[in-house]
């Protein structure tokens, strides 16, 4: 597999090396056999392994980059630069975190730096306290299952698209659009967490490692982001009990 040279910008190569060296450890993490084999294949120059990795994660990297870079072309460039950094940093990857988390952490650093340089937005850390009316996004704790419940922390009243008629399909599409719009309106730190957790399906541990968050911060950001999204779409939704009473 041919290794291409990284783009010669003010961010590389020295800053690129610092990005790949920032491997946030996860306590007692040990790569499983499949991940160890993948890392070995990548280090040996296996093009198929690299192509598989790119296909698996590239769309998610671009999507996450757009948290800081609203321009799609810039987000694509940052994702490409991330893959170059991954190629050049594999020999220094120590396996103290998941390979996926390490790749995403490189992307986050690249995207924040590009955003600051382009002055399109501010860095993730700078947005940490810019919550606007985030306190108002919280909802009544009684609407969640309690600590002793198997689904603790989840909504105790699931919702469905209201009604049972031919308009349901169109309404569900409208709700999907509202959800995406609500995510776009969130501050960058909330948007990053909910994108990784609820769109890309990453675990809390992977999200914390990639974004450099504590577990507590990640939980707060995710809860507030989900609460805000729920507030936006709730007028279009109602509980199964309400549906049965209306029929």
- 6-59 residue pLDDT tens: 333 344 434 555 555 555 544 557 888 999 999 999 999 999 999 999 999 999
Residue 98 falls inside a structural domain: yes
Question: Among 55, 86, 118, which residue terminates a domain?
Answer: 118
Q: What is the pLDDT of residue 213?
A: 94
Angstrom distance (rounded) from CA 203 to CA 107: 17
CATH of the domain at 198: 1.10.10.10
The first and second tokens of residue 223, run together, are: 């809860």
Note the pTM of the prediction, 2 decimals: 0.66
Q: Alpha helices, DSSP H only, in 32-167?
A: 33-43, 47-65, 72-89, 99-118
**Does 219 lie in the same domain as 182?**
yes
What residue numbers bound the domain in which 154 lies?
A: 128-246
Name the more confident of 131 and 114.
114
Burial degree of 207 (CB within 10 A; 0-12, 13-18, 19+):
buried
Residue 123 falls inside a structural domain: no
**Does 155 lie in the same domain as 97?**
no
Beta bridge partners of 160: 238
The first and second tokens of residue 161, run together, are: 């698209």
């Amino acid at each position: 597999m041919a290794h291409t040279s990284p783009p010669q910008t003010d961010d590389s190569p020295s800053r690129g090396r610092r990005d790949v060296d920032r491997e946030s450890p996860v306590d007692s993490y040990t790569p499983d056999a499949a991940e160890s084999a993948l890392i070995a294949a990548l280090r040996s120059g296996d093009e198929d392994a690299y192509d598989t990795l790119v296909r698996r994660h590239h769309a998610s990297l671009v999507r996450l980059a757009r948290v800081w870079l609203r321009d799609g072309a810039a987000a694509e460039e940052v994702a490409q630069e991330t893959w170059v950094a991954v190629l050049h940093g594999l020999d220094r990857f120590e396996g103290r975190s998941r390979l996926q988390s390490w790749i995403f952490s490189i992307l986050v650093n690249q995207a924040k730096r590009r955003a600051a340089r382009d002055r399109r937005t501010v860095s993730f850390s700078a947005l940490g306290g810019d919550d606007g009316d985030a306190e108002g996004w919280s909802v009544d704790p009684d609407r969640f299952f309690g600590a002793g419940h198997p689904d603790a922390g989840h909504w105790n009243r699931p919702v469905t698209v209201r009604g049972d008629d031919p308009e349901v399909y169109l309404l569900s599409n409208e709700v999907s659009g509202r959800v995406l719009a609500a995510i776009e309106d969130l501050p960058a730190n909330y948007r990053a967490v909910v994108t990784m957790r609820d769109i890309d399906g990453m675990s809390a541990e992977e999200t914390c490692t990639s974004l450099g968050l504590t577990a507590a911060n990640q939980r707060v950001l995710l809860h507030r982001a989900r609460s805000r999204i729920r507030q936006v779409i709730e007028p279009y939704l109602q509980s199964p009990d309400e549906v049965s009473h209306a029929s």
